[in-house]
Chains A and B, each alone.
Chain A
Amino acid sequence: DAGITQSPRHKVTETGTPVTLRCHQTENHRYMYWYRQDPGHGLRLIHYSYGVKDTDKGEVSDGYSVSRSKTEDFLLTLESATSSQTSVYFCAIKRQGRDSPLHFGNGTRLTVT
């Protein structure tokens, strides 16, 4: 299995507090992604990274920021959490190319009360 770890696995936080989720890989893959998964929506891209300090927005990026200062770490920050950000968050990694599969972390279940 690809070495990809998400932390924390579960988090409960209050509205208005900042939250940071961490994705760590040991595979040296170039691409890293943050998705959220909600009932009825499937997986939606929040942000992705195509290299150190190179990031771009996905379809649901409002309220989220990311940073990638090292190849192995991709951080997702909710600056001021809202109840609409209650979700399961998945990180994924990928090498470049159409023959490269996606490898997912185990997910972080975030509840904003």
Chain B
Amino acid sequence: KNEVEQSPQNLTAQEGEFITINCSYSVGISALHWLQQHPGGGIVSLFMLSSGKKKHGRLIATINIQEKHSSLHITASHPRDSAVYICAAQGGSEKLVFGKGTKLTVNP
């Protein structure tokens, strides 16, 4: 069974800071997903990656397959980035195992 661990659980930053959220998983995967959930809101997919790095605007996701580790970076953070960020490991069966999430608060 795949175990997915995220760190930190909670993160508070000042506007403009560089943010890093980490995700580790225990067994091999076919893809790693990063999701975002705003307070009281729905869940949206940010990235899926199986190798290397992806970038979308101020968000960057990286994955190291050998180390079973992925990171989500936010550059020039803004209060609207405040949300819960969730990573999920996808196995070959199309089932995903989710981390418990990282709650990010960006203060102005």
Residues of A close to B86: CB separation below 8 A: 42-43
B contact residues, total (Cβ < 8 Å): 20
Tally of A-B Cβ pairs under 8 angstroms = 50
Whether B67 is near chain A, meaning CB under 8 Å from some CB there, is no
Given contacts A101-B33, A102-B35, contact A43 B98 (CB under 8 A): yes
Q: How large is the interface on A (under 10, 10 to 19, 20 to 34, 35 or more residues)?
A: 20 to 34
Residues of A within 8 A of B (CB): 31, 35, 40-45, 48, 50, 58, 90, 92, 94, 96, 98-107
Residues of B within 8 A of A (CB): 30-31, 33, 35, 42-45, 48, 50, 86, 88, 90, 94-96, 98-101
Q: 14 new A-B pairs (CB below 8 Å) besides A35-B98, A48-B95, A98-B31?
A: A40-B100, A42-B86, A42-B100, A42-B101, A43-B43, A45-B96, A50-B94, A94-B94, A98-B90, A100-B48, A101-B33, A102-B33, A102-B96, A104-B44
Q: Which 9 residue pairs of A and B lie closest in terms of their CB atoms, listed nearest first?
A: A98-B31, A101-B45, A42-B100, A104-B43, A43-B98, A98-B30, A106-B42, A42-B98, A98-B50
